[in-house]
Amino acid sequence: MGDKYTAVWVSHSSMGDFLKCPRLYYLHNMYKDKKTGHKITIVNPHMALGVAVHEVLESLGDYPAHERMKQDLRADFEEAWKKVSGKLGGFITDTEEQEFKERGIKMLENVQKDPKFLINKRIKLPRETMNPNFFLSEDHNIILNGLVDWIEYLPDDTLHIIDFKTGKKEESDSSLQLPIYLLLCNALQKRKVTKASYWYLESGNVVEKELPDAETAYRDVMDVALKVKEARKLAKRDGEDKVFICPKGAYDPITKEGGCFNCIPYEKILTGDESVEFVGTGGFNQDMYMVKK
Ligand code: SF4
């Protein structure tokens, strides 16, 4: 039987880290600061923009469909921006912050002009304080969690999954994002998902994606989740430094050699590099840092 407290929790973000490199997974998802007991995270402008825009759009779902576009998205954005302003968003200069903020304002102006699915009925997956989640496997004690940005209810009683994109980079076809969303929807509600799209908010483009079938989605997600679980188990037995190794050679804080851009910012936090600044504690009790280049 699965047990929520001892289970391995996996998500699109943590499995994405693991697929890049197990050491990145360790640094971002497992490592805890010895003094605070908190995990660590790095703030940056792209993430700040994404967080603020998502907050505004997702909160529209709390209103009935016909009232959503009567909300003052600009005012909501100003409120959301306060939480990521300055160092909290990893902004080094006011000019940089202003540039990112303007991009967010433009995205919301585009949404106001053409709200697409936002004026249609939607459903939400059930959740308590944590993101929606379910046991991907009770036998293996693995829980899958994730937050689907928007789920449109279609007239034929099926569902359309929509993911808001605030970055310019297109999601790769091998991404586990849609398989994970499909599995979450199938596990946590009864209707069938028949459509999935990425909405690139800056260009306004909506790119419809082919949905994987449920078995393939389960197999692909489970395959990575089991590898994550196995690595954690080995790390418990042999030590984290033996399992979560950088294939490029460990980053050396003195020569500044080794590693790559994915982990170097985390390694700098661990070694107390002078480019690192603690900026606060996040909503899930992570220690947030900005790392200046
Ligand atoms: S620094 Fe090393 S472990 Fe981290 S992502 Fe790059 S190659 Fe992988």
Angle at 24 between CA 213 and CA 162, to 5 degrees: 35
Q: Give percent above pLDDT 90 in the chain.
A: 86
Cβ contacts of 78 within 8 Å, gap of 6 or more: none
Q: 54-75: per-residue pLDDT in tens?
A: 999 999 999 999 999 999 999 9
Measure 126 CA to ligand 1 centroid, in angstroms.
36
| Mean pLDDT in residue range 195-209 | 94
Site of tokens 């943590």: 14
Q: What's the pLDDT score for residue 1?
A: 67
Is the CB of residue 153 less than 8 Å from the CB of residue 17? no
Among 246, 256, 266, 291, which residue has the most ligand 1 atoms within 8 Å of its CB, making it the best to mutate? 246
- Determine the Cα–Cα distance for residues 153 and 169; give it in Å rounded to an integer: 27
Residue 207 pairs in a beta bridge with 198
Q: What's the pLDDT score for residue 250?
A: 85
Q: Is it the case that residue 15 has pLDDT exceeding 80?
A: yes
Q: What's the pLDDT score for residue 189?
A: 96
| Mean pLDDT in residue range 127-146 | 94
Q: What's the pLDDT score for residue 87?
A: 95
Protein residues with CB under 6 Å of any ligand 1 atom: 20-21, 23-24, 246-248, 259-260, 262-263
Measure 247 CA to ligand 1 centroid, in angstroms.
7
Q: 270-288: per-residue pLDDT in tens?
A: 999 999 999 999 888 999 9
Residue 77 banded pLDDT, cuts 50, 70, 90: very high
Q: What's the pLDDT score for residue 284?
A: 83
Q: Is it the case that residue 3 has pLDDT exceeding 90?
A: no
Which value, to the nearest 10 degrees, does the dihedral of the CA atoms of residues 74, 103, 13, 23 take? Answer: -140
Measure 137 CA to ligand 1 centroid, in angstroms.
29
Measure 16 CA to ligand 1 centroid, in angstroms.
13
Atom 8 of ligand 1, residue of closest alpha carbon: 21
Of 138-147, 193-202, 253-262, the poorest mean pLDDT is in 253-262
Q: 93-131: per-residue pLDDT in tens?
A: 999 999 999 999 999 999 999 999 999 999 999 988 889
Residue 204 banded pLDDT, cuts 50, 70, 90: very high
Q: Is it the case that residue 2 has pLDDT exceeding 90?
A: no
Q: What's the pLDDT score for residue 289?
A: 97
Cβ contacts of 182 within 8 Å, gap of 6 or more: 161, 193, 196, 211, 212, 214, 217
What string of DSSP letters covers the chain? ---TTTSEEE-HHHHHHHHH-HHHHIIIII-B-TTT--BEEE--HHHHHHHHHHHHHHHHTTS-GGGGGGS-HHHHHHHHHHTTSGGGGT-SSHHHHHHHHHHHHHHHHHHHH--GGGGS-EE----SSSPSEEEEETTTTEEEE---SEEEEPTTS-EEEEEEE-SSSPPPTT-SHHHHHHHHHHHH-SSPEEEEEEEETTT--EEEEPPPPHHHHHHHHHHHHHHHHHHHHHHHHH-HHHHS--TT---BTTTTBSS-TTTHHHHHHHTT-TTEEEEEE-TTSPEEEEE--
Token code pair at residue 264: 């170097």
Q: Which atom of ligand 1 is nearest to the CA of 251?
A: 1
Atom 4 of ligand 1, residue of closest alpha carbon: 263
Measure 92 CA to ligand 1 centroid, in angstroms.
25
Q: What's the pLDDT score for residue 217?
A: 96
Measure 22 CA to ligand 1 centroid, in angstroms.
8
Angle at 64 between CA 61 and CA 68, to 5 degrees: 65
Q: 150-189: per-residue pLDDT in tens?
A: 999 999 999 999 999 999 888 787 789 999 999 999 999 9
